[in-house]
Amino acid sequence: MWNFLKQTPPTAIFGMLVILVTAILAVFAPLIAPYGETQIVGAEYLPWGDGYVLGTDNLGRDMLSRMIFGARNTVGLAILTTAIAFFIGSFLGIFVALKGGWIDQTVGRIVDVLMAVPPLILALILLAILGSSIPNMVAVIAVIYIAPVFRLARAAAMDIAELDFIQAARLRGEGTLWLIRREILPNITSTLLAEFGLRFCFVFLFIAALSFLGLGIQPPTADWGSMVKENASLIAFGDITPLIPAAAIGLVTVAINFVVDWMLHRASGLKD
């Protein structure tokens, strides 16, 4: 462990610590939080201290407890949404790169249509039609981010699909799924890993933005994005409480990027 820490840059250690703390808070939120997620514990907008470390929000709920439960809801949904978009997008990208022809053209044009519409506008339109619920939000954001993952996976797989060892595997009679699992994926893992980290950050911020606009995670569920909106009026009185969930969003995003950059550095084989 000591050798590992000596070889790991401070930024990566910082990122891993932030991710570890966030994961612990998300998993054990009911045990760590001093109050319930929706429990009203006092008057509205109580100051820091007096039994409430971060004060209370616009309904008299404990801000610290809401922050802890928000780690579970915001980060957990971001991971779920990113995983869905990443799995479908990367599989489709590699699949069409191997198949080519009309399959590549058809899927590519569908993806072009998705990418032609600004993501936020598309999300607002779809959520207005489908309704603002957590399953709908996860499905809409996953569909939106399938397109960029597909583009990257297809471009990376196209470079591998024309190499000699792929042609040799085809001649041996290997199937498409075998080629994807044994030949393509091992050669583009670092690229996909970087895309996963980057895409998670985009999804994480996207969920927070939708919650801030009132179309994401709905009250009374705790969410860092909606907590900024609910307590925004405190800024006019010089209270920085609304900036705490905003800072948490930025901190987790930076921490994940630190870790992903370090993992890519290790995978590249570079020493400095």
> Count of CB atoms within 10 A of residue 194's CB?
17
- Cα separation, 77 vs 200, in Å, equals 10
Tell me the pLDDT tens digit for each residue of 131-156: 878 888 899 999 899 988 888 888 88
Which tops the pLDDT comparison, 29 or 159? Answer: 29
Asked if the peptide bond before residue 220 counts as cis, ω within 30 degrees of 0, the response is yes
Average pLDDT, the chain: 83
Q: Which of 113-122, 177-186, 191-200, 259-268 has the lowest mean pLDDT?
A: 259-268
> Is the pLDDT confidence value at 270 over 60?
no
Q: What is the pLDDT of residue 17?
A: 93
Cβ neighbours for 86, distance < 8 A, ≥ 6 positions apart: 149, 192, 195, 196, 199
Q: What was the pLDDT predicted at 238? A: 79
Please tell me which residue, 8 or 31, carries the higher pLDDT value. Answer: 31
- Which residues, 6+ apart, have CB-to-CB distance to 243 below 8 Å? 228, 235
pLDDT of residue 14: 92
The DSSP-derived string for 34-52 is SS-SS-B-SSTTPPSBTTB
Which residue did the predictor score with more confidence, 5 or 199?
199
Of residues 265 and 246, more confidently modeled:
246
Choose among 194, 207, 209, 204: nearest CA to 257.
194
DSSP 218: P
Domain ranges of the chain: 72-268
Mean pLDDT of 19-31: 90
Pure H helices in the chain: 2-7, 10-27, 29-32, 63-70, 76-99, 101-116, 119-130, 134-161, 164-171, 176-179, 185-213, 224-230, 243-268
pLDDT at 6 over 60: yes
Task: Compute the distance between CA of residue 77 and CA of residue 141 in angstroms, rounded to an integer.
Answer: 11
How far separated are the first and last CA of the chain, in Å rounded?
21
**Is the predicted pLDDT of residue 194 greater than 80, yes or no?**
no
Contacts of residue 166, defined as CB under 8 A and 6 or more positions apart, other chains included, come to 160, 179, 183, 184
pLDDT > 70: what percent of the chain?
A: 97
The CATH number corresponding to 72-268 among 3.40.50.300, 3.40.1190.20, 1.10.3720.10, 3.40.50.1000 equals: 1.10.3720.10
Cβ pair 62, 39 in contact under 8 A: yes
Please name which of 173, 155, 165, 182 lies closest in space to residue 96, comparing C-alpha atoms. Answer: 155
Using CA atoms, how far residue 91 sits from 27, 32, 81, 159, 176, in Å, is 29, 39, 16, 16, 11
How many angstroms separate the CA atoms of 61 and 76, rounded? 22
Predicted pLDDT at 24: 92
Largest CA distance in the chain: 74
The stretch 69-89 carries a mean pLDDT of: 88
